[in-house]
Chains A and B, each alone.
Chain A
Amino acid sequence: MQAKNLIYDGTFDGFLSTIFYVFEHKLKTVTIQNEFTVQQGLFSENESIPTDEVKANRVWKGIKSKLSSHGSYQLYYAFLSEDIGVEDLLLDYIQYAFSQQKKVDKDYSHPSILKIAQIAKSVGREKHRMEAFVRFRLTKDDIYFASIEPDFNVLPLIEKHFKRRYADQKWVIYDIKRGYGLFYDLETVELINMDFPENFNVTKTDDTFFATQEFEFQKLWQDYFKATNIASRKNMKLHIRHVPKRYWKYLSEKQPN
């Protein structure tokens, strides 16, 4: 039988629809790729799988019944890593889960299970980092605006946290890398795409766009950050391990004065 390469639209529902297709046709030698990263295999045949919400929900329900709740959210977390090849790992995990009587998500000596647990852990870490490193800046329109560039697609994971916490202020968290963001309007959170003005620099706090008091509070925060450091305990290696340099760009305390 010829190897098949199934292509989906990059969404989680699309991925689950593809899983449905694999089980429906009892496919054995199969790979799954999203349509943005397709690589043509020499001996495989490409096939596009349409996203079908009903089928996706059926698969998700099945997965949840075969795993603990911890296991099913690990699958979702790992999916959001957008790692090349993660779909095939997930497929292997899901096939193994459906082949066993017991719930398998704690079977850490199984290679795919351990690998997915590890990927989910990195995504979880990135989620937690974004909850920590988002820095809102108050715009002239009275909206608290933050731009981020997370390693993984964690916006769907942090929505609840920020909605609960900042219930009484309007805010936007925008993923510059993936070109979409969350906007909270005091009632609900919506997905948005933004076209930034030409003279808008995402890392700069410019008085054309940001409120006057924004500059004062950034300055106070920077002063606080310096004053709370104990020079005789300086440990830059530890500092950088906790706050890797790739995040500095959007941290108010790391901006040059």
Chain B
Amino acid sequence: MTPQMIFLMFFGGAAVWFGIVVFRTLSMVRSALALLFSQTAVGVMFLLMQAEFLGVLQIMMMATEMSVMAIFMVMFMMDPGGMGAMDMTHQKRLSLWAGGIGFVAALAVIWLADWGPANLQIPDATEQTAELGRELLGRSMFIFESAALMILTAMVAATMVAIHPSEGRKR
């Protein structure tokens, strides 16, 4: 067993464990922090798989995203600290079955599929980032620009949805 496999298993296990904690803890702020740790462990897995740029991007993006999520938790939840031990779940048995079946089906595909030969000749981090830049501004530019437009549209749409209707009428 190589050190890379051991670390992949460790951080993969951490990502899944914190993912479970998200739905097990009663405190919503702890939920947001557990999700942050889970996403950070995923980012560390990217670093272990030598995708340095994507790993750093994942950790930075998720740190910001989860901080915002924690603030929203405190603003919107009736019991953000989990002191009242409120149950905010429904159809638990069905959800467990759906999650379990999804997991087992994905595992079956992973173990039964023929993934072909491994290609372990990986370019170094500088070359990877340069190649990604060339890809984004070359062959995949249309897709990249579409993603940018999608984010802009979502930002405008989210702001319009969030504006209180009476604020529009006052002006």
Q: Are A and B physically bound partners?
A: no
B residues sitting closer than 8 Å to A (CB atoms) are: none
A residues sitting closer than 8 Å to B (CB atoms) are: none
